[in-house]
Amino acid sequence: MRGLFLASACVCILAVLIISAFLFINGLPFFRAYPPVDFVLGTEWAPLRDVFGILPMIVGSFYVTFGALLLGAPIGILTAILMARFAPAPVVRAMKPAVALLAGIPSVVYGFFGVMLLVPLVREHIGGTGKSVLVASVLLAIMILPTIIQTSLAAINAVPQTYYEGSLALGATHESSVFRAIVPAARPGIISGMVLGIGRAIGETMAIIMVAGNNPRMPGDLLKGVRTLTVNVLMEMGYAADLHRESLIATGVVLFLIVMAINYLFSFFNRRRVMQ
């Protein structure tokens, strides 16, 4: 059984190594034909003229991802706290399958929901065409809720009960004990849930392609359209060839490095908080 468990763990590691090798082997040759600085910092994407600048897509990805985190993280964390420490058992039994069902809805269904409800709502009551950074952020916030809720709930439930009881013994109220003893102790798990939420948001494609407008230009207004890195690859990979195709694979390399950097930064700050 020990060997079986080791083999199972190695499958995950091997999958990451194979994906990484595929991306770098196929994507790095592009940088020998096209300057990396112009590729990452260029603001114009015109494959027919061999101009490949992905800065608008990088900025667009950050806009919708952190917009989704700004909206979804507080709701998700507070929902997890409610389920773990405040809600009665019947409510928790009803909420758990609801959260699980939210996680199981396909991306295209979320996209259809955004096109049919959120886009007209924003267009009629706020302005713009409806397909915008704002709608994409709201839709992604809904999509990352199950990840943040389930991970945060597991982290809060894993905190020893003695933390809560010791806080009560010192005279703290129930609310104070939860927010000043339980939640800080669960912080590493909650941050992990936020990192997973960021990965879910920044890698989403199908729902975003339906509501974001897909304009390869530098985003400057929440009510304007935007194109993300993943959408750029999906929209053009079907007909791309030669240098254009290599540029799309190189886009995947950049996205991979961005995700790795975000994970490292969160882990670094998380370790520093734990050491303090």
Alpha-carbon distance values, 193 to 85, 122, 186, 257 (Å): 18, 29, 11, 20
The HSE-up count of residue 49 (CA atoms within 13 Å, CB side) is 5
Domain count, the chain: 1
The domain spanning residue 163 has which CATH number? 1.10.3720.10
**Residue 273 above 70 pLDDT?**
no
Rounded Cα distance between 82 and 183, Å, is: 12
**Residue 224 domain flag:** yes
Q: What digits encode the pLDDT tens for the residues 241-260?
A: 888 888 999 998 999 888 88
Q: What digits encode the pLDDT tens for the residues 211-244?
A: 888 888 888 788 888 889 899 888 888 888 888 8
Q: What digits encode the pLDDT tens for the residues 137-146?
A: 999 999 999 9
The pTM score is 0.87
Average pLDDT along the chain: 89
Percent of the chain having pLDDT more than 70? 97
Which pLDDT score is estimated for 276?
Answer: 58
The backbone region for 171, taken as left when phi is positive above 0, alpha when psi lies in -120 to 50, beta otherwise, is left
**Is the Cα torsion angle 159, 160, 166, 172 positive or negative in sign?**
positive
**Residue 94 domain flag:** yes
Phi and psi at residue 218, to the nearest 5°: -65, 120
Nearest to 46 by CA among 33, 61, 59, 56: 56
**Residue 196 domain flag:** yes
Stretch 168-195: mean pLDDT: 91
Stretch 149-178: mean pLDDT: 92
**Residue 242 domain flag:** no
**Is the Cα torsion angle 165, 170, 172, 177 positive or negative in sign?**
negative
Alpha-carbon distance values, 218 to 41, 45, 117, 133, 252 (Å): 11, 11, 26, 12, 19
Stretch 147-166: mean pLDDT: 93
**Residue 49 domain flag:** no
**Residue 36 domain flag:** no
**Residue 236 domain flag:** no
- Residues 140 and 114 sit within 8 Å (Cβ to Cβ): no
- Provide the residue range defining the domain that includes 170: 57-228
Q: For residue 192, what is the DSSP state?
A: H
**Residue 272 domain flag:** no
**Residue 77 above 70 pLDDT?**
yes
The HSE-up count of residue 182 (CA atoms within 13 Å, CB side) is 30
Rounded Cα distance between 159 and 183, Å, is: 9
Q: What digits encode the pLDDT tens for the residues 14-35?
A: 998 998 898 888 888 888 888 8
